[in-house]
Chain A
Amino acid sequence: AQSVTQLGSHVSVSEGALVLLRCNYSSSVPPYLFWYVQYPNQGLQLLLKYTSAATLVKGINGFEAEFKKSETSFHLTKPSAHMSDAAEYFCAVSSFYNQGGKLIFGQGTELSVKP
């Protein structure tokens, strides 16, 4: 079975500050990990994905995430927050052994950016 836990349902940072959104996963098979962003009343947009290649993954809009197997973590970071980063962020896990590649999502973290 696979599951995802996102620590902190709401994170608030100042513009220009470091963004750190936490994701821990549970998987009995090698995981594929994803971060998606959702703006109000919209669908989900892929930020980045980990598929067993490099453990440090760079995504769009300056975001990156590091896969740490020993900590079962895949935290999302961005060095300097921008007002436009305010949104809901979802971490998701899948697996090659997971029929069809369905995604299992965490509960999400809402990011607020203060001017």
Chain B
Amino acid sequence: DTGVSQDPRHKITKRGQNVTFRCDPISEHNRLYWYRQTLGQGPEFLTYFQNEAQLEKSRLLSDRFSAERPKGSFSTLEIQRTEQGDSAMYLCASSSRSAGVIHEQYFGPGTRLTVT
């Protein structure tokens, strides 16, 4: 178990540019989550996948945001036409799934995005 990994760890971009982040979950986990954390706040849910299916999206996820998990393994989160308000830490988490049980989520180290 190598844990959840995220790449890159830091990204600085100019307003209006597109950025893409990658998350590799724990290999046997079939659920993958994305959260956004701004300074001094708790993480906020963005979206989650069960295998390759994106099953829920938060209202926080505007049309400029898109997430994929094409083969049910790694996931990407893309932000188009970045705005300064997108500056935040983007956290990925994964968990397993069993009927009638809530499993804990394991978090990656996060990608810190700075939009200048």
Contact = CB atoms under 8 A, between A and B. Distances in A.
Q: Do A and B bind each other?
A: yes
B85 interface: no
Given A44-B91, A96-B100, A108-B41, A103 B108 contact: no
Interface size class of A (residues with CB under 8 A): 20 to 34
A100 B50 CA distance: 8
Interface residues of B, number: 30
Nearest to B91: A43
Summarize B's interface: helix, strand, loop or mixed: strand
B110 A42 contact: yes
Contacts, number: 70
Q: Which of A43, A94, A108 has the most CB atoms of chain B within a 10 A radius of its CB? A: A43
Interface in A70-115: 90, 92, 94-96, 99-108
A46 interface: yes
A67 to B, nearest CB: 14
Contacts of B110: 41-43
B88 to A, nearest CB: 13
B108 A43 contact: yes
A63 interface: no
Interface of A: 4, 9, 32, 34, 36, 41-46, 49, 51, 90, 92, 94-96, 99-108
29 contacts: A36-B107, A41-B109, A43-B107, A43-B108, A43-B110, A44-B43, A45-B107, A51-B102, A90-B42, A90-B43, A92-B42, A94-B102, A96-B101, A100-B33, A100-B48, A101-B103, A102-B33, A102-B45, A102-B48, A103-B33, A103-B35, A103-B43, A103-B45, A103-B93, A103-B105, A105-B44, A107-B41, A107-B42, A108-B41
